[in-house]
Structure 1
């Protein structure tokens, strides 16, 4: 396989509000000689699947704006978590034919590690097994970043608090992270009453199917009223911030716990993510735990038991998975736009190549 057509999704402009396909990114095709492209001690990956995640909007910014995640580099391909297979390797840890999960570029064929501009702290590549009855893309969702984030934060903060709690509220709950929290909380703490919200009836139906006791559409319901009728809330898993978090704070129990895992409502406009009821945190003696995947010794320790705890639950169907699949790297722009507007249902993935 010498010369091939290599599709690439290039980042060309910083959005100031919402991300727009064709404006902030551009899909291009170039010729690539897979036999001679320099690897510089790395590997050549044939990309099979790429992940479109809400947090990527945070990365679409001027690099001078500080943030926990590295900015996407103008003129370079978008990068994020991908699944692929090794075609060539100069790294003794990998061989041709290995399946890998990597933080790599949105290209049909990608050299890892890539350009120096992209070699930031999210350097990551690991071998993965090929599951017998599950798609490889499971390692981008339930068994990847969303699932591992949910698992580790729940083990550290949620499960201990759940021992003395009655009610859990999960916002933005219909994605792969949220549904994991709902299902795993029900497995580890079956006594909990789980309230969950999402932005469409289809997503509300998903929440009911994964075990939420109360599921509602925050775009149609009075969030404060629903929480008042079903609370008070002992544990709040926050994926959104903004007005929903304000309503949650109003309905938190004394000595409640908040696991702050996202603020996606303010990703395109920070004003939308503003929380005005901050004073209730001290008035109700609420503990707030901010959480980022993989940060801290406790998170690393929790991740060490993920495979043993979760893979059997996934295999048995007790932890479920839904995917919103886009076909072809050309569709990555639409996937990124829709995941930022909530139009996707389930984990957003783009099928780039077949094995």
Structure 2
């Protein structure tokens, strides 16, 4: 049987800690043809990719293989990989059959084998998914995937009780994937909260305001001045770090809580917190976490049971996506979550017909 073209995004050189990932410099789109009938799957499955997720943490994976970090590196000359949804083409695993729709950790390629030949240390079991009528399969990369799991796990672990006694929640990157989920979930479980959110464009700010959020453009408005007017804050969900974290620290009530979810403002650079002393002056509790581990792992037992119906009924929307078309736009999608180009969850649509 003739080989089938298999465009694959491959990691070819380390970008270092400064700047964005560049196409044909740090990653390349290379055709690695595949024999769909005879490619060894070694007891696993052969997958056709439908959609892939671009997430801020991935920038930390483009590094030297021996550099310590909270997530494993991608190895040079290996495909870039992350969470994805797809369809089983061929299976040697009794748990899956051809045609099954699945969620797992996919190579940035049209076709890939699971488990991969050279895993990077990420153990994410492949699981079947059932489409929700009226919603695309990419919803499993957003509120029903890593994005929702991240927001839900940390909320249940750190904020369930705190939110009941609080008045004000501040969320940075409010139009991004996690920010969107946290805002919508807060409106369901803590509707009394006043929600303040920042975003990087007037379009995103307008979208947040339509959802009943006090929103501002952090690029054109001073976060400290906004929080002085709209605060003080009791909970800060931090997706970005940097100057907005410094502004939040100056505008906390005593005994506030920070959920340190990300620091995309310095993912490709270094920065320091100027107002760190406010943490002890105001008795602020800071919770850092990694998805699916530590204190945020136990809530995953109830994630699908609670969040699935909220998405199915529209109380949490599966429609806030920023779609990138095909693997040819993978680099743009990888950078978008750091430059602020994306408005909603960044997803790469590899097979439009499969959605």
TM over 0.5: yes
SS at match of 2:4: strand
Shift, 1:129, TM fit: 0.9
Does the residue aligned with 1:4 lie in a helix, a strand or coil?
Answer: coil
Is the CA contact (8 Å cut-off) linking 1:86 and 1:95 kept in structure 2?
A: yes
Query: Cα deviation per residue 1:27-79 (whole Å; 9 max; x = unaligned)?
Result: 01132111001111111001111111111111111122211111111100000
Q: How does 1:230-249 map onto structure 2 within 5 Å?
A: 230-249=230-249
Structure-2-length-normalised TM-score: 0.95
Normalising by structure 1, report the TM-score. 0.95
Structure 2 CA distance for aligned equivalents of residues 211 and 94 of structure 1:
43
1:32 to 31, 34, 39: 34
Q: Is the 8 A contact 2:132 2:312 kept in 1?
A: no
**2:70 aligned partner:** 68
Deviations 1:292-312 (A, max 9, x none): 11112x423311212222222
Distance in 2 separating the partners of 1:206 and 1:55: 25
Q: Residue in 2 aligned with 1:46?
A: 48
Instruction: State whether residues 2 and 34 of structure 1, in contact with CA within 8 Å, keep that contact through their aligned partners in structure 2.
Output: no
Structure 2 residues not aligned, in runs of 5+: none
Q: Take 2:100 and 2:211, find their aligned partners in 1: how far apart are those partners?
A: 34
Distance 1:43 1:315 in 2: 29
**Paired residues of 1:21 and 1:337 also in contact (CA < 8 A):** no
Query: Contact 1:197–1:204 at 8 Å: present in 2 too?
Result: yes
Q: Is the 8 A contact 2:74 2:120 kept in 1?
A: no
Task: Name the SS of the counterpart of 1:147 in structure 2.
Answer: helix
Whether 2:314 is the aligned partner of 1:312: answer no
Counterpart Cα distance in 1 of 2:193 and 2:14: 43
Aligned length: 350
How well do the aligned residues superpose, as a CA RMSD in angstroms? 1.4
Unaligned stretches of 5+ residues in structure 1: none
| Structure 1 residue 124 displacement after superposition | 3.1
Structure 2 Cα separation of the partners of residues 210 and 176 of structure 1: 15
- Aligned runs of 1:103-182 on 2, under 5 Å? 103-116=105-118, 118-182=119-183
Quote the offset at 1:159 in angstroms.
2.1
Deviation at 1:149, TM superposition (A): 0.7
Question: 1:262 maps to which residue?
Answer: 262
Asked if the contact 1:104/1:113 (under 8 Å) is kept, the reply is no
Residues 117-167 of structure 1 show CA distances to partners (whole Å, capped at 9, x for unaligned) of x24134331111122211000000111101111111111212210111111
Corresponding residue of 2:251: 251
Distance 1:225 1:193, change over 3 A: same
Q: How do 1:299-338 residues align onto structure 2 when only pairs under 5 Å count?
A: 299-320=296-317, 321-338=319-336
Instruction: Write the distance in 2 (CA, Å) between the matches of 1:73 and 1:100.
Output: 25
The aligned residue for residue 337 of structure 2 is 339
Matched-pair contact (CA < 8 Å) for 1:183–1:211: no
**Residue 196 of structure 2 corresponds to which residue in structure 1?**
195
CA distance in 1, matches of 2:181, 2:173: 12
